[in-house]
Structure 1
Amino acid sequence: MTTHHPFIALDLDGEGAHPAAASWTNATSQDTHSGARLARRARAVETAGFHALVLADRALDARTEAHPVNLAATHSAAFLAPVTRRTVLIAEADAVLTEPFHLAMQLMTLDQNSLGRAGWLVRGADELTEAAAFGREVPDQRRVRQEVTDAVEVNRRLWDSWEDDAEIRDVATGRFIDAEKIHHIDFVGEHYSVKSAAIAPRTPQGQVPVIAPRELVEPGADVDVVQVRAESVPELVEAVRRARAEGFGAVLAEVAVAVDHLGVPAHVRLAQLNERREWAPGALASGTAAEVVDDLAAVLAVADGVRLRPAVFDVDAAALATEVLPALRARISLADNPIDGTFRDLLGLSRPASRYAVTQQD
C-alpha cells in the first residue's frame, strides 16, 4: 500500500471468538447459522463502516459453545455478496485438505457475485480431527507450507487461465469463446498436478487478493497480505514491524476484542465466559472504548489493517460500531470504502493482466 490509510476487518464467526460466546447470547446453532441472522449482522457491519468481513473456517469441535458446527466460509461469503454493497468479503479456506481446482472456482464465483469484493484468507489444516475427516494423516509443518505454496500457485494460474477478452459472444459466427485465449495451466507439484483451465471467465479483480498467516509462508511468498499474531498488543506491534522488515508488502494484524458495554465491564464478562471454557485469545484489546481505541491506534500506526475478533459478536461488534470505530476514525485516516470499490482497490493494488496474455504478447 503506497499511502498509509489502514482498513478494519471484522470477524463474523459464529457467536464470537470466545469458545463460550453462545452462553452469553443463548443462541442455538440453528440461530447462529440462519440466513436471516447472517445477513442482518453483515448489513449492520456494513452500515457501521467496517471495511471488510472475515468469514472464518475451522474443524468441527463439539466442545465449543460458540460454534460447534459452522458453515463453509466460501459459501457464507457467497450468500452475503448480494446483500452487501461495499464490504469486502474475506473467506478463510483451507489449502491443504481442499481440492485446489474447486477452491479456485469457489473464490472466482465469490469475486463475480460480489463484483470484486472477494478475498482469500489461507488456512493450513494441521489438526487430527480435521485430517481424519478427509481420510488423511496430519501433515507435518513442512508439508503444510509446501501445500499452501502449491495451492496459491494453482489458484493464481487458474484465475489467469482465461484472458480478459476470451469471452466473445459472437452471434454471427456462433462462437461464445475464443479458445485460443483459454490456457491450460500445466501445474506439476510435489503432491499433485493440475492441467486444465478454469471453467469460468476471468473475474472483476483478475487476481483475488491472497492473505496468508505469517507462520505458513516464507518471505518472498506470492501473497498480497501477510497476517501476524502475537500474545499481547505490544508484541503484535513488534510482529508487524518484523514482517515489514522481512519484505512482506502489506501486513494485517489479528486482535481479539472485548469492550465494556451497557454497564458490564469487559473483564467481568470474560471472567464469566472463562468459567465455562478457558480462552487464549492472543493479543487482546479489552476495556473501555477509549482503551480499545488506544490499543488499535498503536497497531494501526504500523499495520495496513487489523482483523478484529469480537469475543461475543453481538456485544462487541455493537460497541465497536458505536463507540470505538467513530473515535478511531477521528484519530486515524482510515481507508475509504466506496460502493464500487474492489478489495484490490482497498489494498492499493492495480488489476493485473493475465500472465498468459503477457506471455503471448512476448
Structure 2
Amino acid sequence: MTSRTAGGPVRLAVELDGDGAHPAAALGDERPSAERLGPRALIELVLAAEIAGFTLVTFDDSPLPPPGGLRLEALSRAAYVATRTNRIGLGATAHVTTTEPFHVATQLASLDHASHGRAAWLVGAANEPDALATIGTGPLDPAGLRREVTDVVEVVRRLWDSWEDDAVIKDVATGRYLDPDKVHHVDFEGAAFSVKGPLITPRPPQGLPVVIAPEHLVDEARPDVVLIGGSGLDDLRRRAHRARDSGTPRVFAEVEVLLNTREPAETRLKRLDSSARWEHTERLRYTGSADGLADLLAWLGTVVDGVRLHPAVLATDLPPLLETVLPKLRAQGVLRPPEPGETLRAALGLPRPVNRFAASRG
C-alpha cells in the first residue's frame, strides 16, 4: 500500500475509554485500576493526544458499569479535561434511551462552554434489557427505538437553539441579564415525552455541538459525522459512498489497532485472546507495524474525512500512535491537526449553524 496521492487532509480521533478496545487490555498491567483509569491518567492521555495532533478524543459509556470495575460517566470525564486542553475535540457518549433529553442538552451545552466550542455528542441507543432496567423499563421495539432516537436528537438541537446568540445582554443600567424575546420555548411533543424548554444554558459557542452517530442511526440522528465500519476496504468504500449519499457532512472510518511491539502484533493478539477473545465487530481491524498503519490511514484519507482509532491496549498501542504514526502523517502533509482555540466544527470544516428562531424571524 502506498501513501495517499489525492484527497483532503485526514482528521484522526481516538477512543480513550478504559484500558483499551481488547477485553483483556488490562492483562499484565500491574498498576491498580485507580492509577490506570484515574483522573491523572486521563489528563495525561488527552494531553498526549492533543500534542500529537488528534482532532478528537472520545469517551465511550454505557448505562451499566464495565466488567470488573466502575468508571465516571463520559460527560463528566469530558468536562474534567475541558479546561486543561485548548484545541482537541471532546466527544462523550450519551444514550437516548436512558438519559433525559433536557439533561443531555444541558450537559453538552455546558461542556461546549467550558471547552470554548469543542464538544461532541456520540449518540448511543442502548436497548438491552439490563441497560433499560437501570431506569425501570424494558427494551423498545425497532420502530420505537428509531422514533426515540429521532425525537431525542431533534429536541436536543432545538434546546441548544432556544437561546439566540445575542440573548444575553448584561445591561447594567436596566439590571437586565437577558432579552426575554430572544429566549424561546421549544414546545416539543415526542412519542414518549414532551419538553417545553427553554434550556437553562445559553446557546453553545458552536451553536449546535457536533453530533456523531454510527451508520445504523444515520437516518434518525441526522449527524454531522457518521461512523462507518466495513468487512474490508472495498466494503468500507461502499459504505462511505452510501453515507455521503445520505447527506451526512463528514464520514469517519472506525479502525481497531493492535501494533507490533517487542513481540509481533499477531503474537500479542493470540496472547490476549487466550484470556478473553476479541470478537470481530463492524470495524476494520489492523494488526501490524506502525508504518503500515500510517500508510493505511493515508489511503483512508482518500475515501473518508477522518478515522477513529480504537487501540487494543492503550498502554501499549497508544505510544506508537503518538510517536510514530501521527508524526509520519504530519511529515507527509496528510494529517490536519486542529489549531489552538479552534472550535471542533471549524477543525472538521463544518459551518456554525444559524439559530432557527433568529432565522425564522428573518
Match of 1:264 in 2: 263
**Offset of residue 236 of structure 1:** 2.5
Residue 230 of structure 1 and its aligned partner are, at CA, apart by: 2.3
Cα shift readout 1:193-245 (whole Å, capped 9, x = no counterpart): 101101011111111011111112328x5321111122344432332233223
Structure 1 residues 126 and 315, CA gap change in structure 2 (3 angstroms): same
Asked whether the equivalents of residues 233 and 284 of structure 1 are also in contact (C-alpha less than 8 Å), the reply is no
The structure 1 segments of at least 4 consecutive aligned residues displaced by more than 6 Å after TM superposition are none
Higher relative contact order (CA 8 A, sep 6+): 2
Aligned to 2:223: 223
Aligned to 1:247: 247
Normalised by the size of structure 1, how large is the TM-score? 0.93
Q: How far apart are the structure 1 equivalents of 2:65 and 2:79?
A: 24
1:37 aligns with 2:41: yes
Distance of 1:56 and 1:111 partners within structure 2: 18
Output the amino acid matched with 2:249. Answer: G
Alignment of 1:171-210 (within 5 A): 171-210=172-211
- Residues 8 and 301 in structure 2, CA contact (< 8 A), matched pair in contact too: no
Task: For residue 39 of structure 1, report the CA deviation from its aligned partner.
Answer: 0.7
Counterpart CA distance in 2 for 1:305 and 1:88 is 13
| Partner in structure 2 of residue 349 of structure 1 | 350
The residue number in structure 2 matching 1:10 is: 14
Correspondence for 1:109: 110
Question: Identity of paired residues, percent?
Answer: 43
Match of 1:46 in 2: 50
Counting only pairs closer than 5 Å after superposition, residues 233-244 of structure 1 correspond to structure 2 as 233-244=233-244
AA aligned to 1:13 is: D
Count of residues in Structure 1 that have an aligned counterpart in Structure 2 = 354
Shift of 1:47: 1.6
CA shift at 1:347, angstroms?
1.8
Tell me the residue number matched to 1:75.
76
Alignment check: 8 A CA contact 1:253 1:303 kept: yes
Q: TM-score, with normalisation over the residues of structure 2?
A: 0.93
CA 1:100–1:27: 2 relative to 1, 3 Å: farther
Q: CA deviation at 1:141?
A: 2.6
1:118 paired residue number: 119
Gaps of 5+ in 1: none
Please tell me whether the aligned partners of residues 53 and 337 of structure 2 are also in contact (alpha carbons under 8 angstroms). Answer: no
CA distance in 1, matches of 2:246, 2:184: 34
How far did 1:248 drift?
2.4
Q: Aligned residue for 2:143?
A: 142
Aligned twin of 2:278: 279
Whole-Å Cα distance in 1 between the matches of residues 9 and 237 of structure 2?
A: 17
Aligned pair partner of 2:62 in 37, 58, 71: 58
Give the alignment's Cα RMSD to 1 decimal.
Answer: 1.8
Contact 1:53–1:90 (Cα < 8 Å) also in 2: yes
Aligned partners of 1:84, 1:30: CA distance in 2, in Å?
Answer: 22
Cα 1:340/1:61, change in 2 over 3 Å: closer
CA apart distance, 1:140: 2.4
Supply the distance in 1 between the matched residues of 2:62 and 2:129 (Cα, whole angstroms): 12
Report the secondary structure of 2:341's partner residue.
coil
